[in-house]
Structures are given as C-alpha cells and as structure tokens.
A and B are shown apart, each in its own frame.
Chain A
Amino acid sequence: MTQASRAGRRTGIAAAVVLAIIVGIALIGPTSFGRSASDSGDLRTDRLSPPSAAHPFGTDASSRDVMARVVQGTRVSLGIAVLSVGILFVIGVAWGGLSGLAPAAADRWMMRLVDALLATPRLLIVLAVVAFTGRLAAPALALLLGLTGWAQMSRVVRARVREVRASDHVVAARALGTPALSLFLRHILPEVAPTAFVMAILAAAAVVPLEASLSFIGASVAPPTASWGVLLRDATDHPTDAWWLLLFPSVVIATTVMCVNMLGERLQPRDRNFLAR
C-alpha cells in the first residue's frame, strides 16, 4: 500500500467517525442535552447572548438556545437528505437496470429522458413547485428532491449493468435459462450495488446544500420546523451584532457535507470518474 492511499484510508475513516458523531447527536436530539429548540428564555436577559457556559452556541433573537436549534436543524436536514436519497436510489437503480437490460431502441429513449433530467436545474423545478403549493412538509420536500435527482444514479447504474451483463457468469446463467428478473436480482445487482452505494453517497452530498439553499430563500419546510437553511436565514437579520448565529450552523453544514464528500471519494474506485461518463 502506497503512502498516499494509506493517507486516503485514514481520512476516509476520520470522515466516517465525524459523520457518525454528527448523526448520533442528531438522533439523540436536543432534549437529551436538557435543552429545547423552541422554548424561549427570558426575553430581557437571554436575547442574542453570545456563547457562554449556559448556551455554548449563544442564543437567538427569540432567546432560543442556538445549539439546540442546530441539533434540531441537523435532524430535519439529514432526515430530508436520507429520505430523498432513498427515493432516488430506488428509482435510479430500477430505471438504470431496466435501461441496461432493455433492447437498444428502448434504452436510447430511456437515456434521453435521463439526459433531459440531467439538464434540468433541480433548484428551479423545486422552486416552481413551491411557488404553486406554498411551503411543503418535510416528507413532501424529500419526495420532490428524490423525484428530481435520480438521473445521475440511473446513468451510472445503466453503464455498470451493461458491463456486468457481458461478463461470463451472467452469460452462463442466461444460457442455463435463468428468468430475467432473477438474472437481474441475483447475478447482476450484487455487482452493481457497490457503485450504486457510492453514487448514493455523492447524491447525499449534493442534496444537503440544495435543501439548505431552498430553506434559506424560504422555499423549503414550513415553520416552526427549522432546517439548517432556516437558521442561516435567521442569521442574516443580525449581520453585525450576532456572529454566532452564522458561525455555528455554517461549521456544522460544511463539516457534514465535507465528510460525506470525503467518504464518497474514498469509496470510489480509482479508475472511475463517474461524472465524466
């Protein structure tokens, strides 16, 4: 093992550990720290107080504990990310698998739809929908982000299915008369799965900033649910007098997405540049 790949392995493990800690804290939730994300403190004394022992991340304009709000925001943002990636994973693998096994003409049209979806600015489509419906509940938003985000997954899965389909064991299984469905599920899918999981990680790294951007401009989850973007929106009301409102949510978002990206990069096979396909 070369020195560079050993360093890569170490950063991969470090990223996984940091991510596990963030997810763990989000799962436990703010109340177990004896804090509430919604309770206001004393409005006269606790409003916009800088970080202290009582409030390590300070308090906001409604005297709420910023740390509790960040933990709550992490729950919401990561929840939306996990749900939407789950949705796009299922659609992407199904569509990519079908396209990879389909005859050439069907394959071409299925991939043309994928090309169209890839050319679609996701943020604009989601904005259009929100303009029509008003703010969405978190599961509805996750559904929307999943429905608009499966193209990259299906494209990479299709390419991999085409490769695997030509390999000896699949040809042999087909020659033995294995039905199409079990051919896909038992002989092709296991080989496609690692690639699909890496794509899922990369999709998560893309969806978190997207959701943050949407909630920042007020086009995401309805209040009082606060995701990361909502916290940052609140921070813009106090650009000079409350730096902690901007700093702590920013650090948590950046750390989370960076860890997800590093993990995805670490798990990605060296010889594949997924996006260049």
Chain B
Amino acid sequence: MLRFAAARARQTAIVAIIVTSLAFFLVHAAPGDPFSTIDTSVESAAARAEMRVRYGLDRPLYQQYPAMLMNFARGEFGTSFSQSRPVSAVLAEVIPDTLLLMLPALTFGVLLGVALGTWQGARAGSSADRGWSTVTLGVLSVPEFLIALIAATLFAVRLGWFPATGMLRIGATHSSFADLLGDYLHHAALPVATLTLTIACAVARFQRTAVIGARSEEFVRTARAKGATDRRIIMTHVLRRTAASLCAILGLLFPALIGGAAIVEDVFAWPGAGHTLVAAVSSRDYPLVIALVTVGSIAVCVGSALADAAAAWVSPSGAVDA
C-alpha cells in the first residue's frame, strides 16, 4: 500500500506540473498581457512598461516559467491586482467556503446517484428505467449554470423561499451556533441542490451501466444458484463489484465538476473560489487567476489520486495497481 501511495503521489506531482505548465504556456502563447488594455490616455506607456517590469512580464518565458514554479512551490502567489493584498490571503479565505459548498453536494450527489443507478440497473429495460434514463440525460444536457439560473429565478426570486445570493446574511451577527448553521443551510440549499442534481445524474448513468455489467457476471449466477434473493444479490454482491469502477469514474468527473461548480458559485454569488475566479477574470487580475487555476487543477489531481486509492481499496480482488 505504501508503494502504491508513493507511486501515485509521484504521478500526481507529474500531472500537476504538466497542468500548470499547460496553463502557463497557453496563457503566454495568447496575444496581449494584463496591461495591454490599460488606457494609454490615462496611464502613460511608461507606466505600462513599469508594471510589466514589476510583475516580471518583460523577462523571457524561459526565465519567467521556472521563477513562477519556484514561487508556487514556496506558496508565494504574488499580490492580487484587484484586491491589493497577497493572493495567499485571498485563497485562505475562499477555499473553505468552496468546500462548504462542494463537500455536501458531492456527498448527496454520490449517494443519490448510486441509489438511482442501482435501482435502474436492477430493472434495466423496463419503462421506469427508460424514463429515468431520459431524465438524467436531460439534466446532463443542460449547462449547470442554467439549472442554477432557473432554480434562482423560481425558488428565490419568484417564490422567495431561499435567498438568491451569498452564504450568510450580510452584516448579521449570529447569536448562537444554531443560528449560524441555520443561516448557512438556508443560503446553501439552492446551490447545493443544483450541484447535487448534476452530480447525481452523472453518477446514476455510470452506476446503471456498471450494475448491468456486474449482473451478467458468473459470481452473480453462482449467488443466484445458491438461492440468494435478488435484493441480497444487488446489495452485497453487485454493489461490492461496482464500487471500484464508481471511484474511478468519480476521478474522471472531477475536472468538469470543478469548472461547473465555479459557474454555479458565480450565479449564486457564493463567496468561494469560483465566484472569485470569475471576478478576477473580468478585472484581469492575472496573479489571482493563475493561482486559482493552479489550485483548482491540483485539487483535481489530488481528487483523482484519492479516487484511485479508494478504487484500489474497495476492489474485491484487492488489486493495488499503480
């Protein structure tokens, strides 16, 4: 297990370096830089050149790139243009808020998705199964932000059941922990529900396929010959079998999930990393953008590695395959 962990950590590091390099070189291959849109009638060309020097953008790429990697490795992300404070301070503030959104959504989404997918897989081909397949495909065909937008319009603006934006009441002092928790839950309901819905539908589609595959395997025939009930076959034999591929699929879902969650955060003005990223892009706050993209990519790499480790751990054969 230790060897597996070491190999996987090395792989994750390689992937993380490739991802940050990709971000860096794509960004620099594109024309322009953060200061090329500064209005020269207000700021002189000299001021622009000075800004380039200050942020090291005048140096050749082969010098900028290692400098950036070294700084990132030391946890130095520079200073945010738009917030005029260290990027690391911004990160420390927004990442916990993003986790407060992602973790519940991921938990509920996976649980609901596995339940629905297994239920469908157990009665594959029936009209109920086909109906639910259409529903899940329909949900996945709509961009997440659109679901968020419809939810906000319907339940927040029209019906007024939930607040449309934010994580806590603005300027509120909470008398007790229960009050704080209630406030958070009230605000989190819509964004968490939106993300849960898309995660659940994606997971359900994979789980359904996996259950159908596992049901035709020989160990299921053996269990049936032994006289095990359908319920017991699904709950103990089939679910055990599909757990590993489920973990692997979760690893593949992370990249799309992080991107989609960023936009959902923005729709609900949730004070997390995604909302901050969108604001940073429109204000061309390039140190903050690069830092958030890097952190997001590393989060995906770590998430995939954890998913792979979980897949190895739950695999019935116990195969640990780096």
Contact = CB atoms under 8 A, between A and B. Distances in A.
Contact of B142 (A119, A240, A246, A254): A254
The DSSP consensus for interface residues of chain A is: helix
Interface string A107-137: 0000011011111111111011111111000
A239 interface: yes
A85 interface: no
Interface stretch (A53-61, A64-72, A94-102, A208-216): A208-216
Interface string B70-103: 0000000000000000000000000000000000
Nearest to A250: B146
B34 interface: yes
B206 interface: yes
A205 interface: yes
The DSSP consensus for interface residues of chain B is: helix
A240 B15 CA distance: 46
B68 interface: no
A275 B145 CA distance: 24
A209 B140 CA distance: 10
B30 A123 contact: no
Given A115-B15, A120-B297, A232-B149, A250 B142 contact: yes
Contacts of A239: 152-153, 157
A123 B263 contact: yes
A131 B289 contact: yes
Contacts of B286: 131-132
Given A127-B281, A131-B284, A132-B27, A276 B248 contact: yes
B22 to A, nearest CB: 6
A129 B255 contact: no
Nearest to B245: A276
B278 interface: yes
A162 B28 CA distance: 36
Given A118-B255, A131-B281, A240-B158, A213 B263 contact: yes
Given A119-B19, A218-B282, A261 B141 contact: yes
Contacts of B9: none
A128 B281 CA distance: 7
B95 to A, nearest CB: 14
A209 B144 CA distance: 8
Contacts of B252: 118, 275
Interface string B23-45: 10011101111100100000000
Nearest to B213: A273
Contacts of A185: none
B150 A125 contact: no
Contact of A133 (B32, B149, B157, B255): B32
A246 B154 CA distance: 12
B277 interface: yes
A257 interface: yes
A123 B15 contact: no
Interface in A166-212: 205-206, 209-210, 212
5 contacts: A120-B19, A128-B26, A253-B142, A265-B137, A276-B249
User: Which are the 7 A-B pairs with shortest beta-carbon distances?
Assistant: A123-B259, A116-B18, A209-B143, A258-B141, A257-B141, A131-B289, A131-B281
Given A115-B15, A127-B278, 16 more contacts: A7-B130, A116-B22, A123-B262, A123-B263, A124-B258, A124-B292, A125-B26, A127-B281, A127-B293, A131-B284, A144-B26, A217-B281, A218-B282, A219-B281, A250-B146, A265-B137
